Chains A and B, each alone.
Chain A
Amino acid sequence: MSEPLLHATGLHLAFGQTRALDGAGIEVRAGEMVALVGSSGSGKSTLLHCLAGILRPDSGEVVYRGARLDTLSEEARSRLRRDEFGFVFQFGSLVPELTAVENVALPLRLAGARRRGAEAKAREWLERLGVLDVAAKRPGEMSGGQGQRVAVARALVAGPRVVFADEPTGALDSFNGELVMEELMGAARAQGASVVLVTHETRIAAYADREIVLRDGRVTSPVVS
C-alpha cells in the first residue's frame, strides 16, 4: 500500500492542566475523506489543528508527504497551509471586509496571482457552488448557508491536496448543512483532494469514507466501514 499523505503518531498536547491530546495518531491517504468524531473535549479539533500545522504538539510527530511538519518554523508552516491546504471552519472563515469573490480569490492572490485572473477563477468556483449571485456581497449580507458555500469555494480554489473542515455545518440547519457537505465532498473528490473533517454529528461524518473516534485525547477505535 502507498505511503499515507499525512500521518501523525503519539501526539500529546496540553493547554495548562488540560490534556487535549494524549497519544492520538491518524493516517490519511491521498484522496481519502476521514471524519474525526467524538464528544466535546475529546480532542478532535485539536488533532485537526495539529495535522494542519496550526498548533504544534508538545510531543509526537506529524508527517506530511514524507517530511516532518511539526518541526517546521512558523513561517514554513504558514506557507505550507497557504500552498497545500484548504480550510473551512464553523464560524468566521471569511474576511468580513471583503466581498465573496474577493474572499475566494484571496488564496490565489496570496500565492502571487494577478487580481483579474484570480477573480475570474473565483467566479467559476462561486458558480460551481451555486452562489455566484452573492459574488459582490460581503459575508454579513449572506445567509449562513451561502457563507459556508463561499468558504468551501475559497478552501478549494487553489487546488489544495488536503482540505481541513472543522464543524463546517455546525451553524447550519440540517438541510443547508447537507447541501454544503455534498458540495464540499463532491468538489474535493473531483479534485482528488483529501478531506479531514471534524464533526459531532454522525450524519455529517457518514459523508466521509472512514471515521476516527476520539475519546479523552486518544483514538479509541478507528471505524472502517
Chain B
Amino acid sequence: MTIAETLLGLLEPAPRHGYDLRREYDAQFGERRPVKPAQVYATLGRLARDGDIHVVSVEQVGGPERTTYALTPDGVTRLERWLTEPEAHTPYLQSVIFTKVILALRSGRPAERLLDAQRTAHVAAMRELLRRKSGADLTTVLSCDFTIFHLEADLRWLEHTAARLDKLAKELS
C-alpha cells in the first residue's frame, strides 16, 4: 500500500489531522497491516515539504498538539495521476513455493508433501475468508474476494505443478 497517496485520497474530502487520518486508514485499509503512527506523521511531513498538502491549523486542547492538513492543487494532481495509473504486477507467494519445490527436488526430497501442505494451508485460508464474507458489508466482501481469487491462482499453480512433479524431477536430475 502506498501510504503517501492513500493519505492524499483520505485528505481530499476535507482537512484532517494526523490522528484522525491514521484511524481512518486502519479502519479502511489496515486490517492486515495497520499503519504505524510514526509512518503517518513522517509521510505527512514529506507531503507538506513537497507541497502536496499544507498546514491549515495547529491546535492544542489538553493533549498533544494537533496539526490539521489540507490538499494543495499539486496534491490533487498527484492523487489523480496515481488513481488512473495501472499498478505493476507484484511478485506473489508462489515464487517462494517455486524455490522450495526446486530445492526439494534437487536434493531428492519429496516435493509432493510440500505442495499438499501448501494446498491445505491455502484452502484453510480460503475457507476462513468465505466465513468472514458471510453477512459482511460489501467493502469487506470485496477485500476478502481479492485475497480469495489470488489464493485460487496459487492453488491452480500448485495443481499444475503437482501433476508435473515427476517430469520436473527428471529435468532437474
Residues of A near any B CB (own CB < 8 A) = 39, 182, 201-203, 205-207, 211, 221, 223, 225
Contact = CB atoms under 8 A, between A and B. Distances in A.
B123 A205 contact: yes
A202 B124 contact: no
A203 B144 CA distance: 12
A80 B20 CA distance: 63
Contact of B120 (A39, A203, A205, A223): A223
Contacts of B120: 223, 225
A221 B119 CA distance: 11
Contact of B116 (A39, A202, A221): A221
B130 A206 contact: yes
A205 B119 CA distance: 12
A201 B134 CA distance: 19
Interface of B: 116, 119-120, 122-124, 126-127, 130, 134, 148-149, 151-152, 155-156, 159, 163
A206 B127 contact: yes
Contact of A202 (B134, B152, B163): B152
Given A39-B159, A203-B148, A225 B119 contact: no
B126 A206 contact: yes
A121 B142 CA distance: 35
B123 A206 contact: yes
14 contacts: A39-B163, A182-B134, A202-B122, A202-B126, A203-B126, A203-B149, A203-B152, A205-B123, A206-B126, A207-B130, A211-B123, A223-B119, A225-B120, A225-B123
A206 B124 CA distance: 8
Contacts of A225: 120, 123-124, 127
Given A202-B123, A206-B123, 7 more contacts: A202-B122, A203-B126, A203-B148, A205-B123, A206-B126, A206-B130, A207-B130
Nearest to A175: B145
Nearest to A209: B127
Contacts of B148: 203
A114 B19 CA distance: 67
Nearest to B152: A203
Contacts of A201: 152
A203 B155 CA distance: 9
B116 to A, nearest CB: 6
A57 B72 CA distance: 74
A211 B119 CA distance: 11
A211 B121 CA distance: 13
A201 B149 CA distance: 11
